Structure 1
Amino acid sequence: MRKFGIFLIIGLLFTVTMAHAQQRVTLDKVAGVVGGSVILQSDIELQYAQNLAQGMTPDPNFKCMILNRLLIQKLLAQQAVIDSVTVSEDDVDNNIDRRMRSMMQRAGGQDRLEQFLGRSLIQYKDEIRSDIKEGMIAEKMQAKITEKTSVTPQEVKRYFDNIPKDSLPSYNKEVEVGEIVFQPKLNKEEKQFYKEKAEALRTRVKNGEDFGNIARLYSQDPGSAAEGGDLGFFDRNTMAKEFTANAFKLKAGEISPVFETEFGFHFLQVIERRGEQVHARHVLIMPVVTPASLQRAKAKADSVYTLITKNKQIDFSTAASVYSDNKESKYNGGMLMMEDNVTARTTLIPTDKLDPAVALIVDTMKVNEISMPHQFTDQQGKQTYKIHYLRSVTDAHKANLAQDLPKLKVVAQNEKVTKTVNEWFEKKRKNTFVRIDPEFQSCPQLKDWVNNKETATSAQAKP
């Protein structure tokens, strides 16, 4: 079975699909045709230029990869029409808004991005919309093709047995680590200075100063300050509940009172309402930890450590759910999890992937041991106290079914999914008209499209 790289292609599809960002001319060269869809040379050239702008080393062969991706996208999108696979306009809007925020951040703001694009963001978003939507539909169509693909335990075993013994994967030392996090919290008096600072900035805006300029100069939200506080569109489930409550009760143009979230003190302005989505911008003032608040966090950590280890009044998992300020782990018994390329989310973490400060402490612990509270400072300078629990240690080893069944199951599943997708494409391409411009027919990535074009043409010609 030939491998077409379909899996990788869909993963990369949305990072480069930016066609239609310039007006097409009637004589624009046709680089490829698949079914009833045409791919223009300008589609390829624009995507190539955008990748160069993002730091890619010049490589003409990359144009072959772009054309391959576009051919795949078109074929999936055509099948989606037949199978009634669609995406909502709101989802398309959200996707485009996320892209624009990312692009603005890389470019250094909206003005610099518009200068690079040679057009306003509103115009650019309108130009790329159809291609973004098609790419999303293609991704959804591929998911439908593989949605019923699964592997049985017997298939996993067969997959493992077929791996040559000298080719078995090796896994590094892994640990399961839990933590209870104690964040320093300012009291009402300590917070007052920062609340008053936010109030003063809000007053300046109400008195006529530009909201965007105030946000650029004073907001401490690293993700939106450079864009004048612009957050794009979001729904009721995206932001902190206090933020959502204020945003969804305002009309376009209105400015909220100063309010507090876990991040600090905000005020926001609604720019546009669209159904169950709001486009808003905000200013954030973040309080700074005081020595007194840090000492209070330490005292609380010491108290909880005593409850767990000396008084035996509560176990680690329950203590995490009650006392931890880490919202991602507290309802998981305090256990840390990581994303990997094999099992998606897992509590088994390679020691080289741990925070070095945590790894240093865990290295001195025994299984089932609970550490004393330690002070930590993250890369942003944020200080906390943490208690750690070492649940298990798995030494470095060659893959085996007893220890690595979850990992092997995912790998076997991915291989089966890839095979399913490849078979689908092989069948569809043989019955679809394909034409590749001679300039691209020597591309290694396109050999299967080129080889199938005569068969597809013949199939189209039959009565």
Structure 2
Amino acid sequence: MKKRMLTAIGVACIITLAACNNEDTAADNTPVAIVDGTEITEAQFVDELKTRHGDAILQEMIRNHVLDQAIETVEIPEEEIEEELDMLRNEFRTAYDIEDDEGIVDALQNQFNLDVESLDDFVNEYLLPPLVLQKLATEGIDVTEEDIRAFYEENEDQFAEQVRASHILVEDEETANELIERIEAGEDFADLAREYSTDPGSGARGGDLDFFGRGQMVEPFEDAAFSLEIGEVSEPVESDFGFHIIKVTDQRDEFEDFIEEIEQILIQQQSKSQDEVMAELIENANIDIKDPRFSNLFGSEAAE
């Protein structure tokens, strides 16, 4: 956790403090610099680090330790972790054309500068902490079917007919017709979207635009999308952005179609923030601050 959460200056200070603490007491007077004949000793240097940055560093170290303890005690189902990893794999497959876990780890190291040697490292250092905080944030929240139906009825205009569609956006109609011929010949729509779509956002996702309702897309696109059946591919649709090839992948317009989405909305409305969860974890932890300079380290949080 330390590698994940500590700031750059925090890491530098911890290394310095650790190095100094591992030396003999006599080494406290060893100069780290001499300025015009005046020595700046290790003891002076360490004391300055504590004075200037000690609060922030100690807070981060304590937060990391408390979070580590929570990760040890809060169980995240394996299927949830695998679902997150599958999403990660899909993101790297669509955005970076990386197909295997070894390639993902290499990208995490070299493109994202993460200190991980395997996907297990990534899970432990970067995936589990937010999952644990999210679980603690929603712990004890009970959403009933009555709650869901009441929200649906109060906001029914938000849950009118919706479609889920993918599209391939190209500059000219000729290219659009050529791609439609390839789709009709059996080529994969998502693969063609990743390769040819000029919409960088959806293109990386195989053209997927998720669900949308009326009034959210430009009119020619909307008219075409809402006229298609599930699985049907449109003829070229011209808009101000270019020519679209649209494929509808799902539709929903009944209460039952929105139950899961509304449940998540209601859970999020009642959930605690991550800061609130961390404050509770710290408040419930047995923390004994020995250095009087840091005696009020979490005073403001404890007061809350």
Smaller-chain TM-score bracket = 0.3 to 0.5
Q: TM-score, normalised by structure 1?
A: 0.26
Using the size of structure 2 for normalisation, the TM-score is: 0.37
